[in-house]
Structure 1
Amino acid sequence: MYAEIITIGDEILIGQIIDSNSAFMGKELSKIGVDVCRITSIKDEKEDILNALQEASSRADIVLITGGLGPTKDDITKHTLCEYFNDTLVLNKEVLVHVKELFAKYISAPISEVNKQQALVPSTATVLMNQYGTAPGMWLEKNNKVFISMPGVPYEMKGLMKDEVLPRIQKRFKRPYIIHKTILTHGMGESSIAEKIEDWENDLPQFIKLAYLPSLGRVRLRLSAKGTDEKLLLDTINSNVISLDAIIGDVIVGYEEDQTIEKGIGKLLVKKNKTLSVAESCTGGMIAHSFTINEGASAYFNGGVVTYATQSKVDILGVDADLIKTYTVTSTEVAEAMSLKVKEKLKTDYAIATTGNAGPTRGDGDVEVGTVFIAIATPEGVFSEKHVFSNLRERTIGKTVNKSLELLYNELLK
């Protein structure tokens, strides 16, 4: 059972927006046993759309299309679908009522003729009601292949996928089971992990595949199994995860289906009845964000400060100006002082502090680009580490965030 995704719109091709729709659809389709065999982005032009539909139908059982369904003249997907299916547009009264209700409830201006055209759909299409917008989804079939067209607005597409598309696919097609288990590791590189688990990997059953997904000091190991016996797949994956833990358990921090390292830290802090604060310079608030994006963070995360400029470390945190003058702003001494000061000011048990030079110039600290100091203040004291990560700014910042979390996580496990 294969699906192909087609995203329509110049805004994707020129990099104006990131195609998050395909990632969401691929993940949700995999959950119900549908393999995505290809993702294609094309211009909002008739010939491109027609060619993409024809090619996709030769490879896939299901073709999902997003974009090009707006009320303006540059949105031509519906008209092109009519040409592909040798069909005509007709007015769907249910959609028209829905559009009028949305305008009456949320928009002060009267509904225009252009917006009424959202209710035009191919005559042979099954309309998928869009509860979050005016453009309906459409389900069409040709030569035993299913074509599903949805708006490109992410929250509208997601609503249609969950409410209409996925349930219909499950009812329409018999599918295999596809099981994924993703193991999260920290602090060991991809090649080192591969070397340690080589024998384990070689012993995996043929129906289980292993993928390495490295990213800035983190490596995700994804086990994927496909077959008709769900219990066999689950039992085999789980038994292999247990044997993997015996080999690299010291760097495993969780499982993507269950928790990230940030959530793991949160659970440990709650269990210990402890709290956390952060003082960030080069990471610019990204560590704080990694906690506050998770619900329930207020139970253990008191807050943080971004003291990016040198003087702000003195004025806001109270770091001794002479300390900075003596050791420079990017130093072990200043990082540790930052962590102790924010721990004191926000009355927490633990604190993380970062200071460094992410580049591209040396800045106030006059240290090598990519040099970072990370400090962890604990109820017993403070410690810090120096790292030289990269001469690429984004990479240095990302690795600093991940290393900071790793250091705190390991400290909490003691």
Structure 2
Amino acid sequence: MQATILTVGDEILIGQVTDTNATYMAAALSEEGITVVEHLSVADSRQGIMGGLDRALQQSDLVLMTGGLGPTKDDITKRVLADYFGGELRFHNPTWKRLIKLYQRYGREPNETHRAQCRLPTGAKILVNERGTAPGLWMEKEEQVVVSMPGVPYEMAYLMEHEVMRRLKRKNFDAELLRSVTLLTAGEGESTIAERVERIEDELPENMSLAYLPNLGTVRLRLSARGNDEALLQSQLDEYRNHLEGALGELVYGYGKDDLASVVGRALQARKQTLATAESCTGGTVAEMITAHPGASAHFIGGVVAYSNELKQSLLGVPAPVLLDHGAVSEATIIAMAEGACERLGSDYAIATSGIAGPGGGTADKPVGTIWIAVATPERTITKLLRSGKDRQRNITFTSLQALNLLRLNL
């Protein structure tokens, strides 16, 4: 079975909003063996939506749409859908009653704009949206299905999980199963990893594939298997995942939706140990990555963003002669920052960062992208010198991930 994802909205076309909906929907469809052949983004206009539907239905059995179902005048998707399928808009009383109850819960009354939102295409099956006011729409044309959902991500996700995927399974499209496992690696680039696993990749059965998804400082490996036998697919994935882990060793740090901060956090909690941060060039990004995860307070006690030399001295205890003789971007300074964080904040471990993030500020001896990181442990302090590029945000993110990975390797 083939599917097209169609997102509606001028805000996507002009780059004002990132289309995360398409990513979510593609993952959900792929999990059920439904092949996504194209992502389309079209203007919130009659011509744009009509043209997108024509293109999508020429190549797909299923079209998933998001956007344009709101109560304002620029949300025209349902009117276009009614015309496209040869119907009209009619007031849908069950949706209106649901909105009345919804607004009563918040001590409010729905207005005429909300009432107009209850005018829905005839012939559509209404998908109840328990996360918002706009329902989803399921429409069929011969053997093809068009599903329209709100563009608000958490509303779309609710409808995908509770309505769309369940209906697709009941419709019993003849789709192969697609199962996959994602290995997360850090410490080496895509080419090095590919070299390590080349023999394993060459030996994969015809129904299996390996995809490389590189990012700053990390590479995801998605191992996939297609077929009709669930038990066989899982057995194949387990076997070849073990082969990949054996070839990659300590480069593998997690699976699926893990990230370096969550893996480090679990390791610290298992040890009943704590972490602090002392950041200069990363400006608190390491701490932000750590505290993005619920329960971080069990292992993260806090951090210091010490940008100036004065704060490095007063808050972290970096000796003035170290800064004078070696500079803020140096191994001696980064060691003093990490050890000072452990001592003054009272943690078992500490991460420290200091460097020239760019795009200016470099010298002949220390060009932009020269960055030191350190991890202080109860036994020793480990340092690493990074040589990166001139893009400031990339340098900050790359440094933060490298620092977390350095800690992971020493836990």
TM range (shorter): over 0.9
Report the counterpart of residue 395 of structure 1 in structure 2.
394
Q: What is the CA–CA distance in structure 2 between the aligned matches of 1:191 and 1:318, rounded to whole Å? A: 41
What's 2:98 paired with? 98
1:47-96 alpha-carbon deviations (Å, 9 max, x no partner):
11111111111211111110011111111101100110010011111111
Note if contact 1:69-1:135 (Cα within 8 Å) is conserved in structure 2: yes
1:307-322, aligned counterparts within 5 Å? Answer: 307-322=306-321
Which residue does the alignment assign to 1:87?
Answer: 87
Question: Contact 1:118–1:136 (CA<8 Å) still a contact in 2?
Answer: no
- Counterparts of 1:361-376 in structure 2, within 5 Å, are 361-362=360-361, 367-376=366-375
Q: Is the 8 A contact 2:353 2:374 kept in 1?
A: yes
**Could you list the per-position Cα deviations for residues 197-226 of structure 1 after superposition, in whole angstroms to 9, with x for gaps in the alignment?**
212111111111111111122111111111
Report the residue type matching 1:320 in the other structure: P
Under a length normalisation based on structure 1, what TM-score does the superposition of the two structures give?
0.94
Q: 1:114 to 1:271 in 2, by over 3 A?
A: closer
Cα displacement (A) at 1:119:
0.7
Q: Which moved more, 1:154-163 or 1:9-18?
A: 154-163
Alignment of 1:341-352 (within 5 A): 341-352=340-351
How far apart, in 2, do the equivalents of 1:173 and 1:292 lie? 43
Q: What is the match of residue 141 of structure 1? A: 140
Tell me the residue number matched to 1:336.
335
Cα distance in 1 between the residues matched to 2:30 and 2:106: 35
Give the superposition deviation at 1:317. Answer: 2.6
Counterpart of 1:405 in structure 2 is: 404
Aligned-partner SS, 1:369? coil
1:173 partner letter: N
- Runs of at least 5 residues in structure 1 that lack an aligned partner in the other structure: none
- C-alpha displacement of 1:26: 1.2
Provide the C-alpha distance between the structure 2 equivalents of 1:310 and 1:264, rounded to a whole number of angstroms: 32
* Deviation for aligned residue 1:364: 10
Q: Which amino acid in structure 1 is aligned with residue 33 of structure 2?
A: G
Which residue number corresponds to residue 255 of structure 1?
A: 255
Inter-partner Cα distance in structure 1 for 2:255 and 2:162 = 28
- Between the aligned partners of 2:39 and 2:296, the Cα distance in structure 1 is 36
Deviation at 1:365, TM superposition (A): 12
Between the aligned partners of 1:319 and 1:340, the Cα distance in structure 2 is: 9
The answer (yes or no) to whether the contact 2:183–2:221 under 8 Å persists in 1 is yes
Question: 1:303 — aligned with what?
Answer: 302
Aligned residue type for 2:222: R
The percent identity for this pair of structures is 42
Contact 1:329–1:364 at 8 Å: present in 2 too?
A: no
Are the aligned partners of 1:266 and 1:300 in contact in 2 as well (CA < 8 Å)?
Answer: yes
Q: Which amino acid aligns with 1:326?
A: D
Superposed, 1:201-216 pairs within 5 Å as 201-216=201-216
Match of 1:294 in 2: 293
Q: Map of 1:23-38 to 2, 5 A cutoff?
A: 23-38=23-38
After TM superposition, the structure 1 stretch with the greater mean CA deviation from structure 2, 71-80 or 366-375, is 366-375
- The aligned counterpart of 1:47 is 47
C-alpha contact 1:310 1:364 (8 A) present in aligned 2: no
Q: How does 1:120-131 map to 2 (within 5 A)?
A: 120-131=119-130
Following superposition, the deviation at residue 403 of structure 1 comes to 1.2
Change (3 A) 1:193 1:44: same
2: distance between equivalents of 1:356 and 1:301? 23
Given the superposition, is the C-alpha separation of residues 65 and 247 from structure 1 closer, same or farther in structure 2, using an over 3 Å criterion? Answer: same
**Equivalent position amino acid for 2:48 in 1:** D
Contact 2:260 2:401 survives alignment (8 Å): no
Please report how far the alpha carbon of residue 102 of structure 1 lies from its aligned counterpart in structure 2 after TM superposition.
Answer: 2.8
In the alignment, which residue of structure 1 is the partner of 2:70? 70
The one-letter code sitting in structure 2 at the alignment partner of 1:181 is: V
Q: Contact 2:284/2:305 (CA < 8 Å) preserved in 1?
A: yes
CA distance in 2, matches of 1:296, 1:290: 13
What secondary structure sits across from 2:183 in the alignment?
strand
Q: Per-residue CA shift, 1:322-380, capped at 9, x if unaligned?
A: 42222211111221111111112221111000011110111799831001000111101
Alignment of 1:166-177 (within 5 A): 166-174=165-173, 175-177=175-177
Q: Residues 105 and 284 from structure 1, CA distance in 2 versus in 1: closer, same or farther, beyond 3 angstroms?
A: same
SS in 2 for 1:221: strand
Give the partner amino acid of 1:44: D
Instruction: State the partner residue of 2:117.
Output: 118
Verify the 8 A CA contact 2:217 2:401 in the aligned structure 1.
yes
Q: Is the 8 A contact 2:177 2:230 kept in 1?
A: yes
Single out whichever of 167-176 and 125-134 deviates more from structure 2: 167-176
Q: Is 1:3 paired with 2:32?
A: no
Amino acid at match of 2:331: T
RMSD: 1.8
CA distance in structure 2 between the partners assigned to 1:363 and 1:104 by the alignment? 60
- 1:142 partner amino acid: K
Displacement, 1:304? 1.6
| Worse-matched range after superposition: 320-329 or 356-365 | 356-365
- Give the aligned residue type for 1:162: E
Residue 246 of structure 1: how far off its partner (Å):
2.1
Give the alignment's TM-score, normalised by structure 2. Answer: 0.95
In the alignment, is the contact (CA less than 8 A) between 2:375 and 2:381 conserved in 1? yes
Say whether the 8 Å CA contact 1:328–1:365 is kept in structure 2: no
Structure 1 pair 365–160 and aligned structure 2 pair: CA distance change class (3 A): farther
Distance in 2 separating the partners of 1:353 and 1:65: 46
Report SS of the residue matched to 2:185: strand
Cα distance between partner residues in 1 of 2:294 and 2:30: 26
Residues 371 and 84 of structure 1, relative CA distance in 2, 3 Å threshold: same
